[in-house]
């Protein structure tokens, strides 16, 4: 019964961490009214690419702790048990026999401490690497915000195109009604009616395509945010809108801000700092290294057959008694012949006797496994090492580290030039986009007026249906170009924000 109760508990304990991890990885549903701030917040919390970047910080932080911990000694504890069967072993042409199996146990406590130039340089190197990871994470966050903003604007742009398609649909319905009315009174041909029906069908397809484009752009937004899309993406609406205002930013301050705040540039600078720290760490290999070790240990060895231990001790006592008797006779004989004055041996039985008390003592001395350890002497060692020649491995490491640091510096300089070009291009692109909005707004008004005049001319019979269709197409293109110019303006601001490294509105 106890076993049956324990097994489910063990299985539950093994599965519980996985269940908890699954709950932690669960992603929320997208709110029906989604603002840009909410989209960015969800992306920061659940974007897989950004989360994988965040995962790099914990090892880097532990690297800093480990670098400082290298100044402290390490302490190791080990222990074990062993078994050896009876038999003979040969070592160095000598044979050792053992008539009983033995049980053994041992322990060891070790203290070790090492210090070198690399140990001294590791904290600075690890700190620089941690700063590089933080800079990479911050750059990934800013780039993620920029990507989500761009995609958010793409969804709004697609929504605006749906509105334009709906307007075009209403115009086509009106033109079809007007063509049928003129055909009924004999002022238009059946060709005008059929052409109006074709235009209406094309407008209907345009509405379907525009709505599908919104769904596609929303799915891309959800993917970039790292959250699952709802089964019906149309239930999610974007709540933010962006006004058109004249850009008043100056180029010189933007260039200065980008030099100090551009996320990619900051990441490369942090990586250069880490590379320089690595170069200093490589040069520290020329310094001497110090090491200190100390150890405590003990062991036990017990014959599994206690009688074997008793017989062995009795045999050793008998051999000692025999040798003692021989020595006693020889010494006493020399004393008698030469009056040498040797101390006579009166009785060997007192020295090498073996009685029941000795047997009890042997059995007690044999019963040591596994905790009655025989301690070994304490040992300690201090070493100073200075390699004099290592096949040029140290110069090679220093040269490679210096090359990496120089490459990192060149990468920073290259990125600085690229950032200046990106900021300048984004700045003038924004100016062009703003001017384009005003121009396309005027073209849109002119096209709408042209369409109104063409409609009136066709209504009174002074214009043809082909003129009306041409005016309709011109108005549609002008409206579409205006919408595209508006969102090109907003995306240009987002691109300038990314290059400058900070929000501009």
- Between 259 and 310, the higher pLDDT residue: 259
Which of 487, 504, 493, 19 lies closest to 238, judged by CA? 487
The proportion of the chain whose per-residue pLDDT surpasses 70, expressed as a percent, equals 90
DSSP character at residue 188:
S
**Statement: the pTM of the whole predicted model exceeds 0.95:** no
Give me the pLDDT at residue 13, please: 45
- Contacts of residue 224, defined as CB under 8 A and 6 or more positions apart, other chains included, come to 43, 47, 144, 147, 148, 151
- Summarize pLDDT for 148-200 with one digit per residue, the tens: 999 999 999 999 999 989 988 888 888 888 888 888 887 778 888 888 888 88
Q: Using the predicted structure, report yes or no on whether residue 17 has a pLDDT greater than 60.
A: no
Which phi-psi region, left, alpha or beta, contains residue 375 (left: φ > 0; alpha: ψ -120 to 50)? beta
The answer to which of 29-33, 320-324, 413-417 has the lowest mean pLDDT is 320-324
Burial annotation 41-75 (CB, 10 A radius, 16+ → b, else e): ebbbebbeebeebeebeeebeebbeebeebeeeee
Q: Using the predicted structure, report yes or no on whether residue 94 has a pLDDT greater than 80.
A: no
Rounded to 5 degrees, φ, ψ at 343 are -70, 120
Specify whether the CB–CB gap between 111 and 73 falls below 8 A. Answer: yes
- Between 244 and 5, the higher pLDDT residue: 244
Q: Using the predicted structure, report yes or no on whether residue 10 has a pLDDT greater than 50.
A: no
Q: Using the predicted structure, report yes or no on whether residue 309 has a pLDDT greater than 70.
A: yes
For the beta carbon of residue 281, count every other beta carbon within 10 angstroms: 22
Give me the pLDDT at residue 424, please: 93
Specify whether the CB–CB gap between 71 and 119 falls below 8 A. Answer: yes
Q: What is the mean pLDDT of residues 497-502?
A: 84
Given pLDDT bands bounded at 50, 70 and 90, which one contains residue 284? confident
- Summarize pLDDT for 67-90 with one digit per residue, the tens: 999 889 999 999 999 988 887 777
- Between 348 and 17, the higher pLDDT residue: 348
Q: Using the predicted structure, report yes or no on whether residue 20 has a pLDDT greater than 90.
A: no
The proportion of the chain whose per-residue pLDDT surpasses 90, expressed as a percent, equals 34
Q: What is the mean pLDDT of residues 359-379?
A: 86
| Domains of the chain and CATH, by start | 29-71+121-288+393-500 (1.20.1600.10), 305-368 (no CATH)
CA distance readout (Å), 184 to 159, 177, 178, 454, 457 = 38, 11, 10, 20, 18
- Between 233 and 344, the higher pLDDT residue: 233
Q: What is the mean pLDDT of residues 407-416?
A: 93
- Contacts of residue 464, defined as CB under 8 A and 6 or more positions apart, other chains included, come to 458
Q: 374 by DSSP, 3-state: which?
A: strand
């Amino acid at each position: 019964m106890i076993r049956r109760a324990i097994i489910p508990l063990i299985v539950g304990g093994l599965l519980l961490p996985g269940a908890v991890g699954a709950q932690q990885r669960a992603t929320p549903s997208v709110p029906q009214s989604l603002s840009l701030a909410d989209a960015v917040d969800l992306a920061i919390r659940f974007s897989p690419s950004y989360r994988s970047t965040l995962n790099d910080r914990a090892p880097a932080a532990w690297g800093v702790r480990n670098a400082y911990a290298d100044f402290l000694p390490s302490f190791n504890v080990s222990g074990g048990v062993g078994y050896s069967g009876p038999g003979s072993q040969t070592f160095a042409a000598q044979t050792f026999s053992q008539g009983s199996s033995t049980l053994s146990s041992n322990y060891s406590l070790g203290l070790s401490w090492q210090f070198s130039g690399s140990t001294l340089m590791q904290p600075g190197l690890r700190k620089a690497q941690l700063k590089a990871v933080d800079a990479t994470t911050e750059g990934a966050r800013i780039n993620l915000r920029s990507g989500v903003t761009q995609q958010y604007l793409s969804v709004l742009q697609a929504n605006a195109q749906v509105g334009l398609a709906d307007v075009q649909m209403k115009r086509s319905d009106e033109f079809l009604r007007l063509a049928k009315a003129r055909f009924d009174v004999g002022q238009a041909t059946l060709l005008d009616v059929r052409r109006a029906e074709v235009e209406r069908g094309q407008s209907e397809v345009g509405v379907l395509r525009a709505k599908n484009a919104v769904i596609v752009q929303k799915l891309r937004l959800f993917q970039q945010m790292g959250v699952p899309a709802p089964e019906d993406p149309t239930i999610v609406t974007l709540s933010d809108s962006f006004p058109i205002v004249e850009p008043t930013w100056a180029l010189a301050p933007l260039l200065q801000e980008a030099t100090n705040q551009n996320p990619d540039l900051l990441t490369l600078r942090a990586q250069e700092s880490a590379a320089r720290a690595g170069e200093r760490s490589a040069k520290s290999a020329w310094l001497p290294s110090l090491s200190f070790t100390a150890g405590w240990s003990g062991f036990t060895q017990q014959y599994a057959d206690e009688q074997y231990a008793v017989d062995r001790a009795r045999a050793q006592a008998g051999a000692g008694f025999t040798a003692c008797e021989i020595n006693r006779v020889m010494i006493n004989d020399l004393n008698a012949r030469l009056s040498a004055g040797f101390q006579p041996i009166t009785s060997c039985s007192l020295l090498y006797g073996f009685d029941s008390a000795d047997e009890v003592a042997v059995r007690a001395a044999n019963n040591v496994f596994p905790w009655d350890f025989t301690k070994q002497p304490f040992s300690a060692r201090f070493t100073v090492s200075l390699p004099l020649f290592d096949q040029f491995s140290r110069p090679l490491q220093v040269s490679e580290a210096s090359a990496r640091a120089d490459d990192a510096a060149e990468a920073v300089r290259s990125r600085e030039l690229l950032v200046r070009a990106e900021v300048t291009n984004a700045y003038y692109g924004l100016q062009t986009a703003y001017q384009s909005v005003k121009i396309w707004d005027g073209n849109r008004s002119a096209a709408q007026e042209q369409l109104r005049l063409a409609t009136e001319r066709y209504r009174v019979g002074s214009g043809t249906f082909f003129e009306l269709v041409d005016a309709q197409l011109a108005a549609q293109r002008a409206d579409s170009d205006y919408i595209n110019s508006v969102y090109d303006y907003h995306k240009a601001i987002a691109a300038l924000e990314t290059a400058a490294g900070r929000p501009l509105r």
